[in-house]
Structure 1
Amino acid sequence: MQGAVFRLPAVVACAALALAGLTTAADAQSPFQSSFQSARTSSAATPAVTRAALDPALVAGRGASVAFAEQEAENASTNGTVIGPDRKAYTLPSEASGRKAVKLTPGQYVEFTLPAAANAITVRYSIPDAPNGGGITAPLDVTVNGGAKRALTLTSQYAWLYNQYPFTNDPNADLLHPDWWITECQCVPSATTPAPTITKPFRPSHFYDEQRLLLGRTYRAGDKVRLSVPAGSNAAWTVVDLLDSELVGAPHVRVVAANVLAFGADPLGRRDSADAFDKAIAFAKRNNLKVYVPPGTFQVNRHIIVDDVTIEGAGNWYTIIKGREVALPTPAPDGSVHTGVGFYGKDASAGGSRNVHLSGFTIQGDVRERIDTDQVNGIGGALSDSTIDGLYIRHTKVGMWFDGPMTNLKIRNSIIVDQIADAINFHTGVTNSSVSNTFVRNTGDDGLAMWSEKTANAGNTFDHNTVQTPVLANGIAIYGGTDNTVSGNLVADPIREGSGIHAGSRFGAEAFAGHLWITNNTTVRAGTYELNWNIGLGAIWLFALEKSIDADIQVVGDHFLDNTYNAIMMVSDWPVKDKYSITNVHFKDVRVDGTGTSVVSARVKGSASFENVDARNVGAAGVNNCGSFNFPPTGSEFSLTDLGGNDGGGTTGPWLAPWELPNTITCDDRPPVVAPPAPSTW
């Protein structure tokens, strides 16, 4: 399976850089370099509850409605060190929620005040890798109000990737692709190959993981949860990013059902229960029953094939289905060299599966490396007329990957974290399906994606989801397709080679057709730095790489907050800049609060209209219009149409000045970056 990662051939990249007069990534991000606060002991009298490290009022009505309260460690009491902010890739603060975290050494702590009654917590953290890769484990003590200690065992076995795509777990590895363009090679523009040596480890990333813990009783608002690193910890440091606290209800019970225990499943996880699951499913189908998986940890080391069946757990805090990644003796026909825990519909070539309903359990994989041909996803295959509700998925390659054709799948109320690649991908001919009220954090590729490879996805919706800290690529990405919608989502803190919301004609996708509606979404701290191009992207960016984009694209009611570079970008690639265009794009009722550079960056031929697009705290010229870089005397090859009501701006005056219209060339390929202030109420 192809991941949504962008790579430029070396010669093309250098040609583009030579013309544009760009410098290297090393000096690109000084306004956002790390700052460190010295060790301190602070007091948080009122618990600071945030959403994507923002005041919840700034994102009201957007993103997933979740059962937990998020608290950032940098707002808690600690005698550790606050690290960040930093938006430069390959650093611990850049991958943290809000771009800050707290670093503890043995003997130090961070203490959170519960904002509401809670009996469960989730800790997002990072600890060092082993010197030669593979991870370590280390303890973290949890106390409430100074009471008895509960131990969390932290691990870095599922974190710390290195090198070039598709990455390695070996910090001592040489370049995986010595012929690829690498920004660290100082290739501007005299060389097209990397330097003969690189500093190792090369490009470490994907630093964080998270652990859940049931506290054993319910604590009240105002109680103090302290996370302490024991004096004897073998981790030289422990970074705590945030704590989620939650009041988990009683386990769900289904008495009349095919209970997997009756078929030999082991709730203690000592032996493999895959065969017992198969037997329970077969019995349930014969007798028109649901399958029930009670509280416990069930070991499953292969795919469970599902068709015309309902499987319910006791709740994703109670029913945990986990398995090892298992090497196959010979590669499977689809190219897999491993298998692992997962619930799979039948392949679309075999007719797919229908009437599958999965709810109320955790899927916990054992994936520690990225092998794109491996089917080691939490959910897979083709599922039509089906529902997925209330799952928690972690440590798989992709949380849910669907290969169509298939139709009418509804995914809702789920949590997907700590993935090697995407959280959810609708791939090839998925229609009339949706993802809603789902929370995604720490993916190794796109958070939510629709990829219309070979056959168009059509009539799908990503609605009211939250995507935080995708390490690579985009929060939400749409690759071609017809009549799809992205609405009401919250996307925060994309790290590199992508940004918040993306629509791209690339990866062999079918052309955009009909409409693409991108409405009422909020992005924050997006507009990342594109390491391959050495330029800043937009929080929302459209990319015409393999075809022109001329479908009706409506961007309405969206808010782009605290953009590292641009808020909006429309771009093509250098070899096809005179071949493909972007047209028929309409921005309306949009708010832009803070840009490091421009509101709009155009690096393609085409046009777009703007109506009631209000901006403030704009760091550079409101419009950076390079067109397709031919600089004809008639003006830029990209035209902006002012439909009125486009107010505000920044240090350079109105963001959409009359003299810029319709196609004045205002190209500054590397405008100085001005770090915007924190977002505030409009």
Structure 2
Amino acid sequence: MRTSCTPLGRSPARRAVPIAAALALTAGLLTALAPAAQAAADGSRARSAAAGATVPFTSVEAESATSDGTRIGPDHTQGTVASESSGRQAVRLAAGQHVEFTLPGAANAVNVAYSVPDGQSGSLAVYVNGAKLDRSLAVTSKYSYVDTPWIQGSKTHHLLDNARLLLGRNAGAGDKVRLEATGTQVTVDVADFEQVAAAGGKPSGAVSVTDKGADPSGQGDSTQAFREAVAAAKGGTVWIPPGEFKLTQSLSNVDDVRIRGAGAWHSVVRSSRFIDQSSAPTGKVGLHDFAVIGEVTERVDSNPDNFVNGSLGPDSAVSGMWLQHLKVGMWLMGNNDNLVVEKNRFLDMTADGLNLNGTARGVRVRDNFLRNTGDDALAMWSLNTTNSDSAFIGNTVSQPNLANGIAIYGGRNITVKDNLVLDTNALGSGIAVSNQKFLDPFFPLAGTIKVSGNSLVRTGAMNPNWNHPMGALRVDAYDSAIEATVEITDTTITDSPWSAYEFVSGGVTGKAVRNVTVDRSTVTRVGTVVVQAETPGAVRMSNVKATSVGAVGVYNCPYPSGSGSFTLTDGGGNSGWDSVWEDCSTWPQPGGGNPDPDPRRNLAKSRPATATGSTDVYTPGKAVDGDAATYWESTNHAFPQALTVDLGKAEPVRRVVLKLPPPAAWAARTQTLSVQGSTDGSGYSTLVASKPYRFDPATGNTATIDVPASAPDVRHLRLHVTANTGWPAAQFGEVEAYLS
């Protein structure tokens, strides 16, 4: 298994990135504020009109209930219980304290997300309308406090767990359900109340595992009975009746058979490894309506501690499953073409919820609920061969506590549609579209990647390896440029603690992000910026409407310095985010706008630079990277040549300093040039007429040009070079522009 969606390549103490590159608006200024959508802002698990799974339960947050405990959060700090909780809040109960929920509808069962201190166990006594039940919810730290020291930037995480209970009675809307901590401190996050249907009946002709000797008490080992039932039922159905069944080994050779239970609350398999088979079956497999609950307490990537490890074969289906306490719910390799995974619950995985690990075509993963995964909740990873024409549709992902909610690593013609993602934690975004390969052979993004109708609530995180954030929705040219067409439409981003959209090359190599369009998006209460651009490329954004932006609209700072520029094209209909962060040596903090700029600063440093031509590696960005030892050299034997720097906004430039590399190997030379300026990058006026300027290593290889006070403010500063006595090309080690 791959290592997690982990360090994005930067050292833990990332050096300051140079001053911001400007926002290029090619279709005019951002205009007209429009109302912002509030979809799913309250953290409700019920499906909204546009995004998320239809679930059979209703969730109630502990912080909205009545309690004599202590409310904790909100918190976004990695490694805290509140930061991993839904809504970033929970209620901490000392022994004897309680939280009481008012039921929103009929229920006879509850599932509670909770946390207890490391090394402790206890229980939650349950009361309905003041009457104590004869059963309680066991709580334990056994499945929590996971450490993954091989993942750079990770801390002890996976601090919550889920525990479920059939109440043994029916309760109605308005009834009170009280949970009281017994024996230990318990932090209660959220309670899912559900009306569980009666156990289903045995399908006609099905082979029951109990007929083959399986023990429904959960005491004996039923592995062999399950294997015999699977073999006997080939072409038909295996029946798991109500009860608990212990499997000590995994099943293999599951081929052309349906395995069905009486319902996920009734038929329970206790196993950390249910199916493990590397060869694709010849006939389709069905897995329906039972629970598989494991005993995985740590993440060991070499162990196949998964519900499904390998292949189910083409045209298979998985539905109605309750999967819990495993490493990965479904780690899918080999031929899983046209697989449908729907209406399942994935809880408390130490790694991924579901990962399509290459070779998957036409897969549909839809209407699933995932909570508290320890890596990407839903992922497609095109290793060995490519995933193609597959989709994640209408799923709800809550609280992935280390990586992304939904991640697409390579693949062709992939769809991510109508999903709801909530409360991501460290090292992850709500949705990531990425060329991070992890291993070879990897197949980068290709064709058209459609990301549409998704709602992201409190997603994005502070990456401890970068010491700055990951956006709610990230497009990442990690190991190779984004060449596929990426269409992002109808996205709602609410309460992102940091940024909304991030365009980056996490491998720190400055790979470009291209062919990306963002259309029809509502961004509400973003902590810092709407657009976080950190790599070269070009993105077109239209009808993106933002309100309550914490700092400024755009942070445009390609990294590494000199790797190129990022062009953000205004496609029209945008509003609320036209301001630009001005100093990439600092990262904007939530609620903080641009600091007062230093009037002595070099306006040209690390701004986008273009030229009429360049030679070899001596690209335009080398002239504005803050290092005079690197330089731009134009096309040789082709005067005139010009270098243009985009300052980001119109500035009253009064002094231009030109430098060549300082070593004595650079003989003295004279370059003849003029200084020109423009407000729009189209029409240029002459600020300083053409004349020769002497560059002499003995005096620092520097020339200073004073710009008249009468010269107009300019955004685009151009140096127009017609001659060089030392080389048949224009050359600049550094171009600096100052206000005085």
- Normalization by structure 2: what TM-score? 0.74
Task: State the match for 1:527 in structure 2.
Answer: 460
Q: How far apart are 1:631 and its partner, in Å?
A: 6.0
Q: 1:351 to 1:60 in 2, by over 3 A?
A: closer
Task: State the match for 2:557 in structure 1.
Answer: 626
Provide the alpha-carbon RMSD of the alignment: 2.3
* Greater share of residues in helix: 1
Deviations along 1:69-123, whole A, 9 cap, x unmatched?
0000000000001001001111110011000000000111000011111101001
Q: 1:226 to 1:253 in 2, by over 3 A?
A: same
- Give the residue type in structure 1 aligned to 2:127: T
Structure 1's unaligned 5+ residue stretches are 23-49, 131-135, 167-179, 183-201, 324-339, 650-654, 677-682
Task: State the match for 2:372 in structure 1.
Answer: 442
Task: State the match for 2:193 in structure 1.
Answer: 245
SS for the counterpart of 1:275 is: helix
Q: Are the equivalent residues in 1 in contact too, given 2:19–2:584 (CA < 8 A)?
A: no
Residue 308 of structure 1 pairs with residue 256 of structure 2: yes
**Superposition pairs for residues 214-613 of structure 1, below 5 Å?**
214-230=166-182, 233=183, 235=184, 237-256=185-204, 257-285=206-234, 288-305=235-252, 306-323=254-271, 340-344=272-276, 346-347=277-278, 350-383=279-312, 384-506=314-436, 507-508=438-439, 509-573=442-506, 575-577=508-510, 580-613=511-544
Tell me the distance in 1 between the aligned counterparts of 2:420 and 2:477. Answer: 25
Tell me the distance in 1 between the aligned counterparts of 2:402 and 2:545. Answer: 29
Tell me the distance in 2 between the aligned counterparts of 1:374 and 1:314. Answer: 29
Q: Are the equivalent residues in 2 in contact too, given 1:365–1:394 (CA < 8 A)?
A: yes
Q: 1:670 to 1:268 in 2, by over 3 A?
A: same
Tell me the distance in 1 between the aligned counterparts of 2:388 and 2:339. Answer: 13
Q: Are the equivalent residues in 2 in contact too, given 1:123–1:242 (CA < 8 A)?
A: yes
Tell me the distance in 2 between the aligned counterparts of 1:5 and 1:575. Answer: 15
Deviations along 1:22-79, whole A, 9 cap, x unmatched?
9xxxxxxxxxxxxxxxxxxxxxxxxxxx968436799433100001000000000000
Tell me the distance in 2 between the aligned counterparts of 1:418 and 1:15. Answer: 31
- Give the residue type in structure 1 aligned to 2:590: V
Tell me the distance in 1 between the aligned counterparts of 2:478 and 2:169. Answer: 55
Tell me the distance in 2 between the aligned counterparts of 1:395 and 1:560. Answer: 30
Q: 1:244 to 1:57 in 2, by over 3 A?
A: closer
Q: 1:240 to 1:208 in 2, by over 3 A?
A: same
Tell me the distance in 2 between the aligned counterparts of 1:303 and 1:614. Answer: 51
Structure 2's unaligned 5+ residue stretches are 21-38, 594-740
Q: Are the equivalent residues in 2 in contact too, given 1:268–1:297 (CA < 8 A)?
A: yes
Q: How far apart are 1:280 and its partner, in Å?
A: 1.1
Q: Are the equivalent residues in 1 in contact too, given 2:378–2:406 (CA < 8 A)?
A: yes
SS for the counterpart of 2:228 is: helix
Q: Are the equivalent residues in 2 in contact too, given 1:518–1:554 (CA < 8 A)?
A: yes
- Give the residue type in structure 1 aligned to 2:398: Q
Task: State the match for 1:128 in structure 2.
Answer: 117
Tell me the distance in 2 between the aligned counterparts of 1:76 and 1:396. Answer: 31
Residue 137 of structure 1 pairs with residue 121 of structure 2: yes
SS for the counterpart of 1:566 is: coil
Task: State the match for 1:640 in structure 2.
Answer: 568
Q: How far apart are 1:281 and its partner, in Å?
A: 1.4
Tell me the distance in 2 between the aligned counterparts of 1:61 and 1:528. Answer: 24
Q: 1:143 to 1:261 in 2, by over 3 A?
A: same
SS for the counterpart of 1:503 is: strand
Q: Are the equivalent residues in 2 in contact too, given 1:550–1:584 (CA < 8 A)?
A: yes
Q: Are the equivalent residues in 1 in contact too, given 2:5–2:404 (CA < 8 A)?
A: no
Residue 153 of structure 1 pairs with residue 144 of structure 2: no
Residue 671 of structure 1 pairs with residue 549 of structure 2: no
Tell me the distance in 2 between the aligned counterparts of 1:63 and 1:158. Answer: 27
Q: 1:374 to 1:471 in 2, by over 3 A?
A: same
Q: Are the equivalent residues in 1 in contact too, given 2:52–2:395 (CA < 8 A)?
A: yes
Residue range with higher mean Cα deviation, 599-608 or 215-224: 215-224
Q: Report 1 or 2 for greater relative contact order, CA contacts < 8 Å, sequence distance ≥ 6.
A: 2
User: Identity rate of aligned residues, in percent?
Assistant: 39
- Give the residue type in structure 1 aligned to 2:5: V
Tell me the distance in 2 between the aligned counterparts of 1:58 and 1:148. Answer: 32
Tell me the distance in 2 between the aligned counterparts of 1:562 and 1:511. Answer: 31
Q: How far apart are 1:452 and its partner, in Å?
A: 0.5
Task: State the match for 1:43 in structure 2.
Answer: none
Tell me the distance in 2 between the aligned counterparts of 1:82 and 1:374. Answer: 38
Q: 1:592 to 1:18 in 2, by over 3 A?
A: closer
Q: Are the equivalent residues in 2 in contact too, given 1:59–1:522 (CA < 8 A)?
A: no
SS for the counterpart of 2:447 is: strand
**Superposition pairs for residues 23-172 of structure 1, below 5 Å?**
53-54=42-43, 59-130=48-119, 136-149=120-133, 150-162=135-147, 164-165=149-150
Deviations along 1:632-663, whole A, 9 cap, x unmatched?
9xxx700011111012x2xxxxx136xx7xxx
Q: How far apart are 1:4 and its partner, in Å?
A: 2.8
Residue 206 of structure 1 pairs with residue 158 of structure 2: yes
Tell me the distance in 2 between the aligned counterparts of 1:278 and 1:96. Answer: 39
Q: 1:103 to 1:20 in 2, by over 3 A?
A: farther
Q: How far apart are 1:431 and its partner, in Å?
A: 1.1
Deviations along 1:237-265, whole A, 9 cap, x unmatched?
11000111001111110252111111111
- Normalization by structure 1: what TM-score? 0.80
Q: Are the equivalent residues in 2 in contact too, given 1:260–1:291 (CA < 8 A)?
A: yes
